[in-house]
A and B are shown apart, each in its own frame.
Chain A
């Protein structure tokens, strides 16, 4: 039962993380490859604040604000870039943030990490046990899903999709494409921060090594496997992949083989991503309107 709850909690956290990236990549067409940075900022901000006895309600809000603001700061210079360049810029940013976590020892205790993060106390209710944390995660996941769904189904969401399809035409219709992109990026970063906060308080020990490219690859895989640009795609992807990842953790292997397990699993993730892109880029849940031989985007 414990294992089951653990799986569910991890899945829910990654659902939030994936939904946030889906907004940016799947709906707005932004190639954000550094999303893990905001996950990490959320985790570290909340951890540090609660370790200094700031009440969780406040820490959470501040962590979210920080994730969103850093999203804003990063997006301002980089959203002027073309797709591939933006991808590299965000990739680089993800690495830089990790370096900051690693080097600013006075703040983050560097590679030693932050142990003993307390379980959250929200409005005097302590979410310490597994079932309680499950409810917390479930609650936030549902809220995230609903908020994002409202955004995506609104005229605002319609503009985001138009930007993804053809930013020139969108601009010509009087929409400030740059502003819309920034907003999309900030919202995505905000919710990534939420996922990070929930994660940090769940495993109670975080270190810079938790926020690497692996996380970005994993969450990208989740959304492309499940179907990017769909509402439920990230959910399905999270269920499948996190189940796979966490189950591997509990595999009992003789000691000599454990060092092979992590790279092997990650090779599978990388390979899966490649195969998906070649054979089924739409993922499990196809987006509506996918016409089979739509010509590839011209001039991007």
Chain B
């Protein structure tokens, strides 16, 4: 029973992180109308930027390093939009997707070039967790949950209570119409990237704090983020949150029944299941 509760807790923990991933992905999708295959690499680079700042020769402590790490991730995200996605705004869908796939590959191997393929960690000692009702939770993990909740609350305020959020929703609805109405879509798009990158970077850092870092972590988390996005409805921020939690729970409860080697495949399995059961949401464009 304790085991079950622990799994549920771990599931929620992972779920919060996945929610951050999914929200970032769905934001880009909502405003720019394409799935950014390189989103996983923003996640990964966020984690590595922190690593870079915390390791010698820079050696900053965590609480000082994480803001610059997020800042760098944001620059990376904005950069990819400015140099790659902006020139391709009018290109056809396949071109855009291939470009983002190529970018993802470039970024992934870039990380491997600098840091090698080995698994790394931030070097914190494994702390003993605090025990509540038979489940253990470390202070790191508490931080993860708190950070996620704060993020989500801020996002809510931004999206629904601010002018910028309104612009973002307008642009996502119709880019041209938004322009006509006078909404500065360029600014809005840039801001979307800022938020999406920060979400990705933060998620990556939290994930790496809880587990580890390796250059390949982008791809599999992209698939999970995407599965969460699908679950909650593409372009739907709250759906992404919910979807993330569901995936996290499913993974951690799932390994109680199936082989741990397939843990990462659970998200994919959920996605396939969804497609088989409720495909109407995603049908090819009907007139």
Contacts and interface: CB of A to CB of B under 8 A. Distances in A.
A99 B223 CA distance: 14
A297 interface: yes
A58 interface: no
Interface in B94-138: 94-99, 101-110, 112-113, 116
Interface stretch (B2-10, B71-79, B170-178, B278-286): B278-286
A269 interface: yes
Interface in A258-277: 259-260, 262-264, 266-267, 269-274, 276-277
A83 B287 contact: no
Nearest to A295: B90
A95 B269 CA distance: 12
Contacts of B222: 88, 91
Chain A, interface size category, equals 35 or more
Contacts of A99: 261-262, 264-265
B116 A259 contact: yes
A68 B210 CA distance: 41
Nearest to A282: B95
B275 A89 contact: yes
Contacts of A126: none
B262 A103 contact: yes
Interface stretch (A37-45, A73-81, A129-137, A196-204): A73-81
Contacts, number: 152
A102 B263 CA distance: 13
Contacts of A266: 105, 108-109, 112
Contacts of A281: 91, 95
B113 A264 contact: yes
Contact of B275 (A80, A224, A264): A80
A217 interface: yes
A124 interface: no
Given A95-B265, A270-B105, 18 more contacts: A77-B272, A77-B276, A77-B279, A82-B284, A83-B94, A84-B35, A87-B97, A92-B268, A103-B261, A221-B102, A263-B109, A266-B108, A267-B105, A269-B102, A270-B102, A270-B108, A276-B102, A300-B285
Interface of B: 34-35, 37, 84, 87-88, 90-99, 101-110, 112-113, 116, 219-220, 222-223, 226, 230, 259, 261-262, 264-265, 268, 271-272, 275-276, 279, 282-285, 287
24 contacts: A29-B94, A31-B94, A78-B272, A81-B282, A83-B94, A87-B35, A87-B97, A88-B226, A95-B220, A99-B264, A99-B265, A103-B259, A224-B98, A260-B113, A267-B110, A269-B102, A270-B105, A270-B106, A270-B109, A273-B98, A276-B102, A278-B87, A297-B93, A300-B285
3 nearest interchain CB pairs? Answer: A273-B102, A270-B106, A270-B105
